[in-house]
């Protein structure tokens, strides 16, 4: 039986389910062309906006490492330390829409069979901002983008009507998605922030607005650690820091938890998983929970900027997994997607030595426990 890497996700055909996520690996034409040459099935552009962007002085992203010798998490480089996470406070692309559109066109001409998704962002505070979303959407799709990813998730926007501030407001999630869907001729994905209590609420709002898929996670809000010698934040400008985003291995279980909340709430919908993926084993967890594609940022940043070795590992891992499971009749991703989604249940459904003693934390004889028994 021959194995098949290809997937169809939100009506788009992908040669494989592995994408570079919107971030520095996808910030330029040359990077995106290199990514497709390396074998990525799709690329989501660095987020494109209409508002002026000026990043902070100095480093916009750094990596934290830890080691068994010092069991310390730090941005300081030391031999033998393993990657813990990435931390960034980079804003969206500082290039204009006029810079991006001819490049989207050229990339699609060079790689017509690969998937290019345009990540876009505007505000949401008034009708003019909703029109900005539409302008961005129309420009990118007319230039040849195969789909749109709405950035409702950047954790460090000052504007109250942008980025994760949209993703934290279910009404704005719906309204913006609907505005984009009014003009969209290509699939629309919404990238949500993990910084809310019940992410399935915002996912539901996006679906009501017409979203074709939900993407998660963007980075988790976080601050850099304080150096115990200098008492300064490990990354700072003039001693000051603001909240930024955590990515990489540290967020894998957190991001999987967010994803499982959504895939359980909407088992028939499409999801693209991100967070802490560097080889197939991690991608597999997202797929088993129901994701149809996965995306990678931190691991690619550390591998020649666009992850040529990461994509090799992902493809080899998928091939080997399908071969190992050929006897089950699995020939492609759809055959095992979502098969662990329903294994996440309430605490009370987990077996314990004596089930009769446990009443979901309520007293056995009191009202609620009796009603639920």
How many residues interact with ligand FMN (rule CB under 6 A)? 30
Rounded least distance, CB 244 to ligand FMN, Å: 9
CB of 130 to ligand FMN, least distance (A): 19
Shortest gap between Cβ of 213 and ligand FMN (angstroms)? 14
Residues 6+ apart with CB under 8 A from 161: 123, 124, 125, 129, 172
Q: Among 8-16, 84-92, 222-230, 356-364, which window interacts with ligand FMN (CB under 6 A)?
A: 84-92
Near ligand FMN by CB under 6 A, which window of 21-29, 130-138, 179-187, 328-336? 21-29
Q: Look-up: residue for tokens 């994701």?
A: 291
**Euclidean distance between CA atoms 371 and 373, whole angstroms:** 6
65 three-state secondary structure = strand
Query: By the 8 A CB rule, do 251 and 276 touch?
Result: yes
What length is written for the chain?
A: 373
What letters, b where the CB count within 10 A reaches 16 and e where it falls short, cover 104-135?
A: beebbeebeebbbbbbbbbbbeeeebbebbbe
Residues 272 to 331: which contact ligand FMN by CB under 6 A? 274-277, 296-299
Evaluate the omega torsion of the peptide bond into residue 22 and state whether it is cis, within 30 degrees of 0.
no
Residues 300, 306, 310: CA angle, nearest 5 degrees: 50
User: Which of residues 75 and 322 has its CB atom nearest to ligand FMN in the complex?
Assistant: 75
Q: Does 164 bind ligand FMN (CB under 6 A)?
A: no
Does position 151 interact with ligand FMN (CB under 6 A)? The reply is: yes
Q: Give, as ranges, the residues between 175 and 204 that touch ligand FMN (CB under 6 A).
A: 191
Q: Binding pattern to ligand FMN, positions 114-133, x when CB under 6 A?
A: -----x--------------
Residue nearest to ligand FMN (CB): 247
- Contact between 46 and ligand FMN per CB under 6 A: yes
Site for ligand FMN in 232-271 (CB under 6 A): 247-248, 251
154 as an active site residue: the answer is yes
Q: Provide the strand spans (E) within 31-174.
A: 42-44, 48-49, 61-66, 82-88, 115-121, 147-152
Q: Is 88 in the site for ligand FMN (CB under 6 A)?
A: yes
Nearer to ligand FMN, 94 or 319 (CB): 94
What is the Cα–Cα distance from 288 to 260, expressed in whole angstroms? 10
CA distance 145 to 108: 8
Determine, following the binding rule CB under 6 A, whether residue 139 of this chain makes contact with ligand FMN.
no
Q: Quick one: 28 or 330, whose CB is closer to ligand FMN?
A: 28
Pairing of strands 270-274, 244-247: unpaired
Q: How far is the CB of 170 from ligand FMN (least distance, A)?
A: 19
Which run of H or E residues covers position 249? none
CA 132/CA 309 separation, integer angstroms:
38
- Looking at the Cβ atoms of 291 and 322, the one nearer to ligand FMN is 291
| Catalytic pick among 140, 154, 190, 206 | 154
Active-site amino acid positions: 154
Using CB under 6 A, list all residues that contact ligand FMN.
Answer: 21-24, 46-47, 60-61, 86, 88, 90, 92, 119, 151, 153-154, 191, 218-219, 247-248, 251, 274-277, 296-299
């Amino acid at each position: 039986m021959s194995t098949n890497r290809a997937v169809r996700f939100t009506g788009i055909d992908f040669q494989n389910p592995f994408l570079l996520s919107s971030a520095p690996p996808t910030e330029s034409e040359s990077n995106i062309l290199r990514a497709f040459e390396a074998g990525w099935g799709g690329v989501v552009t660095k987020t494109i906006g209409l508002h002026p962007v000026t990043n902070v002085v100095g480093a916009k992203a750094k990596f934290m490492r830890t080691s068994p010798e010092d069991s310390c998490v730090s941005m300081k480089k030391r031999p033998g330390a393993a990657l813990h996470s990435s931390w960034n406070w980079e804003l969206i692309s500082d290039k204009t829409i006029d810079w991006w559109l001819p490049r989207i066109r050229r990339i699609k001409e060079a790689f017509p069979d690969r998937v290019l998704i345009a990540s876009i962002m505007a505000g949401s505070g008034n009708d003019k901002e909703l029109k900005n979303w539409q302008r961005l959407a129309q420009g990118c799709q007319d230039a040849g983008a195969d789909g749109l990813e709405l950035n409702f998730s950047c954790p460090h926007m000052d504007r109250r009507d942008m980025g994760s501030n949209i993703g934290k407001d279910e009404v704005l999630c719906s309204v913006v998605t609907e505005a984009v869907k009014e003009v969209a001729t290509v699939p629309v994905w919404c990238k949500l922030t993990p910084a809310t209590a019940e992410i399935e609420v915002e996912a539901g709002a996006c679906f009501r607005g017409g979203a074709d898929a939900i993407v998660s996670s963007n980075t988790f809000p976080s601050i850099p650690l304080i150096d115990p010698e200098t008492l300064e934040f490990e990354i700072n400008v003039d001693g000051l820091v603001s909240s930024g985003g955590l990515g990489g291995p540290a967020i894998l279980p957190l991001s999987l938890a967010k994803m499982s909340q959504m895939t359980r709430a909407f088992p028939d919908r499409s999801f693209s998983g991100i967070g802490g993926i560097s080889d197939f084993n991690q991608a597999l967890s997202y797929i088993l929970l129901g994701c149809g594609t996965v995306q990678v940022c931190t691991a690619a940043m550390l591998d020649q900027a666009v992850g040529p070795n990461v994509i090799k590992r992902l493809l080899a891992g998928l091939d080997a997994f399908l071969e190992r499971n050929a006897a089950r009749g699995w020939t492609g991703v759809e055959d095992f997607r979502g098969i662990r989604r329903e294994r996440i249940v309430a605490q009370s459904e987990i077996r314990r030595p004596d089930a009769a003693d446990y009443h979901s934390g309520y007293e056995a004889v009191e009202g609620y426990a009796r009603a639920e028994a």
